[in-house]
Amino acid sequence: MNHPTTHGADIAPGMVRLLALAAGLIVANLYYSQTLVGPIAASTGLSLDAAGLIVTLTQIGYALGLFFIVPLGDLLENRQLVFVLLLGTAAALACAALSSNAWLFLGSSLAIGLGSVAAQVLVPFAAHLSREETRGHTVGKVVSGLLLGIMLARPAASLVADHGGWHTVFGAAAIIVMVLAFVLRTRLPERQPAHSMSYGRLIASLGSLFASTPVLRRRAAYHAAMFACFSLFWTVTPMLLAGPAFHLSQTGIAIFALVGVSGAVASPIAGKLADRGHTLPATAVAMLLAISGFALPLFAPDSRNIALALLVIASIVIDMGVAANMVLGQRAIFSLPAEVRSRLNGLYFSLFFVGGAVGSAAGGWVYSQYGWHAALLLGTAFPAVALLYWASELMASTRTVRETV
């Protein structure tokens, strides 16, 4: 049945925790391979030139799923959709764990990305179960879990692989996702959307939704820039930490990444601010946090320990800005009608993932060609451009207030 959200009981705290945990466990599947590219390539016979496909195909699968699967949340019963996607993801992870050749692993990677979009069915599900006045806070908590999954996946994969090999990482993930599928099937309420349109019409509606929803276009542009700087930082910084400046081991880099996880605390804070009508100023604060995070290491002294401490602070500050901005964007689009939330969420994530891909690719190239400081300047530029765009929203809001006075 379809649960009302404007009136009646709010979503239970236990359900919020379950959705946050589920979102984090699901999205983590996208990131396990990122720190294991070398061992996987060596084990499956994949050449170093093609090793990048290990990560790329997972991301391609996720992008395809965001565009072609997540909109089904506006058409199909949500609980069953999540269950089927997680069963497929568990099967793909098991295939990856048993892979002994490159083609099987690469095919599994694509399927892992496709199935992991279940996380983006759960986020609008949480919004649907929430009352309007607490929706931002609820979404913020669920997104905190999602971000923790992103941030913890890489160090967790490195630590497990150090002790049990990369096959163990994917085997354990398959078991976790299989168990999660049955837990969610048992615990989640049914949610049958009101739509009866065909799948073709559903997908065809994405273009008109994008064209007719200014808030989606603006928030997607904001977060594309923010996710670009986030991806740039976490692509380039591990290379710097492993290099001659710091000589950190894989375990040391994993510990560094774990510290950055604390930035996820900004998600529920941002959600509360959005619920109170402070989305516009909170967006500027999020962008300024990202800018300052990249600016800090530019002033690092020659001292290795101080430079490392500044990098730790930078990682936390950048993650806080990105986490806050993601929630502010989702809270804004989830204020729109319930019947289009899954499609809007799919579009939102599809668009800003493009920004992430640009940031990662550009950051790696700039770092290799021009060095660390050039990469930091590029990282600063992404949120700075977003802040300039935000200024146009501020001016429009100020003008509207003046006209109504």
Contact 209, 369 (CB under 8 A): no
> Does an H or E element contain 70, and which?
none
What secondary structure letter does DSSP report for 31?
T
Examine the domain organization and report whether 146 and 221 are in the same domain.
Answer: no
Contact 359, 232 (CB under 8 A): yes
Examine the domain organization and report whether 189 and 211 are in the same domain.
Answer: no
Rounded CA-CA distance 397/403 in Å is: 10
With residues binned 3-state (H G I as helix, E B as strand, rest as coil), the percentages for the chain, rounded to 5, are: 85, 0, 15
Residue 225 lies in a domain: yes
Backbone angles phi, psi at 400, to 5 degrees: -65, -40
DSSP 1-64: -PPP-SSSPPPPHHHHHHHHHHHHHHHGGGTGGGG-HHHHHHHHT--GGGTTHHHHHHHHHHHH
Examine the domain organization and report whether 134 and 276 are in the same domain.
Answer: no
Contact 327, 270 (CB under 8 A): yes
Which pLDDT value is given to residue 6? 43
Examine the domain organization and report whether 237 and 374 are in the same domain.
Answer: yes
Rounded CA-CA distance 290/237 in Å is: 15
What is the identity of the amino acid at 372? W
Which pLDDT value is given to residue 297? 94
pTM: 0.80
Residue 335 lies in a domain: yes
Examine the domain organization and report whether 226 and 185 are in the same domain.
Answer: no
Examine the domain organization and report whether 314 and 392 are in the same domain.
Answer: yes
| Residue carrying structure tokens 């048992």 | 186
Examine the domain organization and report whether 83 and 164 are in the same domain.
Answer: yes
Examine the domain organization and report whether 190 and 279 are in the same domain.
Answer: no
Which pLDDT value is given to residue 7? 45
Compute how many other C-beta atoms are within 10 angstroms of the C-beta atom of residue 343.
27
Q: Which domain holds residue 74?
A: 1-196
Examine the domain organization and report whether 224 and 158 are in the same domain.
Answer: no
Residue 201 lies in a domain: no
Rounded CA-CA distance 225/346 in Å is: 17
What is the identity of the amino acid at 232? L
Using the 3D structure, point to which of 136, 170, 196 is the last residue of a domain: 196
| Chain segment 295-347, per-residue pLDDT in tens | 999 988 888 899 999 999 999 999 999 989 998 998 898 888 878 888 888 89
Residue 17 lies in a domain: yes
Cα angle, residue 374 at apex, residues 369 and 376 outer, rounded to 5°: 130
Domain count, the chain: 2
| Chain segment 263-272, per-residue pLDDT in tens | 878 888 898 8
Length of the chain: 405
pLDDT < 70 stretches in the chain = 1-9, 48-49, 51-52, 195, 250, 405
Which pLDDT value is given to residue 175? 98
What secondary structure letter does DSSP report for 74?
G
- The domain that holds 367 is classified in CATH as 1.20.1250.20
Examine the domain organization and report whether 235 and 278 are in the same domain.
Answer: yes
What is the identity of the amino acid at 370? Y
Examine the domain organization and report whether 179 and 267 are in the same domain.
Answer: no
Examine the domain organization and report whether 178 and 291 are in the same domain.
Answer: no
